[in-house]
Structure 1
Amino acid sequence: MSKIENIRPILLTADYGDEKHPEILECFPNGPKRTIGLVEVSLENGIKGYGEGYLGVFAPKVFESIVELCSPYLVGKDGFDILRRYKDLCSVCDYWSLQGAARHTTSAIEIALVDAKSKSKKCPAYKLFGNSSKDQIETYGSGGICDTKEHFIEELELLKSLGIKKYKIRSVPDD
């Protein structure tokens, strides 16, 4: 057992894409920058775990606020009892949100707890969930919003150059 000493949100912002690219024009009103939301969980044993929540991309301040709302309910409790901590998070958030923003944030906290526990136990995170039937898994590319054949080809060529053979396509119908 190792108690949770601190939980904090981390927002990281960086340049992202070409300002004239259709995805940037359609989805990023503040221009070609992208923010990700991380949660850092610090345990009393000195280990820190990190988890990412996708909400940070589109509503970073909301992500930050939900982490700050949830943190006092977990600090001082056993960071290795992940199921119990998940239930604690549900008791904080379920009344006002069973989906969306709350789930993005609570899952980031849960991922950070798994990361901290696996580091503490000096084992890969997947071993916390039982035995693996595979030695490795393939990665896939998750594309942005492409509105032309040329943009799809551009993304596919980039992924191919990285050795990624599978691709999740997002597209929007013509208006």
Structure 2
Amino acid sequence: MTLKEFIKHFDKPNSIILLEGKRNVLDTDKEKLTALGKLLASKTKRMTFRSGNAEGSDQLFSDGVVEVDNKRLQVITPYSGHREKTNQAYETISLDNINIAAEPEVVHQSKSNKKTEKLIDKFVSGDKNRYTVKAAYIIRDTIKAIGTDEIKPATFGIFYDDLTNPMSGGTGHTMNVCEQNNIPIIDQKIWFKWLIE
């Protein structure tokens, strides 16, 4: 998919584009993430960009979007105040403001991450501590993709992945949830080319 094809298909009202990935970004790639955020925000008019507000990829992509238009940046956080000092989004939605127990599909799909499956049950039942907070991150990652009754699902996912250990961790969980729900995704193997088109 070329950048032109992507814009033609997805620059529409209510289009939600995930811009996110790994916390660890190669030094040689950092500028590319910010450049992509800036490029997409400047070449499109209607899509909204969604992030998880994490360090690394999320921050770098968001920096690029904000250079052009912070009103098109939406952030979903695992709890209120999450990395507040670096959050540049126009709209921030915290898990604290979502009744997760009333979102059975979010809970079900979050449990596909076997490492946190038991923690998710505890978190949803109201047991919140330093261990169950891990579940909040996975639930946040699920919501970024499929949304809730109140939050629109993502339309497309653009990721910066660890190509030596692809689709692992929280980023891998988000990518898997996208694929299971027929939300198309790409990683830097494709979008790096967009920067030189």
Q: TM-score range by the shorter chain?
A: under 0.3
Give the TM-score taking structure 2 as reference length. Answer: 0.21
Higher-helix-fraction structure: 2
Give the TM-score taking structure 1 as reference length. Answer: 0.23
